[in-house]
Amino acid sequence: MTVIFALTASLAYGLSDFVGGLASRRASAWSIAAISQLVAAVGIGAAAVVVGGSPSLGDLAWGVLAGIGAGAGTGMLYRGLGGGRMSVVAPLSAVGAALLPVAVGIATGERPSTATWVGVIIAFPAIWLVARGSEHDEVLGEARQDCRPQSQDVIDGLSAGAGFGLLFVALGQVPDDAGLAPLAVMDVAAVIILAAAALALHQPLRLPAPITGYAALAGGLGASATVLFLLATQSGLLTVASVLTSLYPATTVLLAALVLHEHITRWQGVGLGFAGIAVGLVASG
């Protein structure tokens, strides 16, 4: 079940990022992120009441830490997706999102099988290959005329990845009997961080109805993905769950190519193929 939960979470995260990225091209990324997290907090809060559970103070503290990662990661990701190339920002965000939990999982005694290890190892170059810029950028080294310099895409992507890595590590410490309350605490903490950032940057928290709808949809998808990731960590290894979930850029990149007509280079295609192999190996392990 870990593989199913993690891959479904990956798909939901990829869809959420694409929708949130589209909205961030029409309004402030920080405002979009704050609204999406608010929707997630309401949904998860209601579900937490229904599901119940017995979270300890420690479990709730992990939720707060996850919220710090979620707030920072979502804000930086939406800023990158809204102002740069989705096919670069999204995959780079997955590097940190996968690397930090794997390091923590191994340090805390997780011992994946050989097949799983090979899949994990392949997943990292897969993510990096998908993150490569266009061949024109590689040859000429010039800033793109259609959006900002690619260096900013790299900064936003890696910063978002660090936040999501913290989120994954913190949620990986939440036990089964805690219920969804730690997730609700996480979303509330993320809303506070993002709303404060939006206000500090003098960005409005009230947006036109269509854009608010996009933000709400992104929040709902993101909340579903986070619940699925939590279930994945509770049913298996943090190492496996985090790496498979971190393949979410494949969805974002494919949608960016189909909807926004962003060009997928040969190396990005190879990376997507490697990602498929990684999934198969981790699943077989």
**pLDDT for 216:** 93
**pLDDT for 61:** 96
The CA–CA distances, whole Å, from 231 to 1, 7, 75, 236, 276 equal 9, 12, 24, 9, 22
Identity of the amino acid at 182: P
**pLDDT for 265:** 77
Which tokens is 262 given? 């962003």
**pLDDT for 134:** 46
**Greatest alpha-carbon span in the chain:** 58
How far apart (Å, rounded) are the C-alpha atoms in residues 57 and 70? 20
Q: In tens digits, what is the pLDDT along the chain, a chain of 285 residues?
A: 888 999 999 999 989 989 988 898 888 888 999 999 999 999 999 999 988 888 999 999 999 999 999 999 999 988 888 887 777 787 778 777 777 887 788 788 877 778 878 887 887 787 777 666 544 444 434 444 454 556 787 788 889 989 988 998 998 888 888 989 999 999 999 999 999 998 998 888 888 888 999 999 999 999 999 899 888 988 888 878 887 887 887 888 788 888 888 777 788 778 778 877 876 777 665
Using CB atoms within 10 A of its CB, is residue 156 exposed (0-12), middle (13-18) or buried (19+)? buried
How far apart (Å, rounded) are the C-alpha atoms in residues 245 and 262? 23
Identity of the amino acid at 64: V
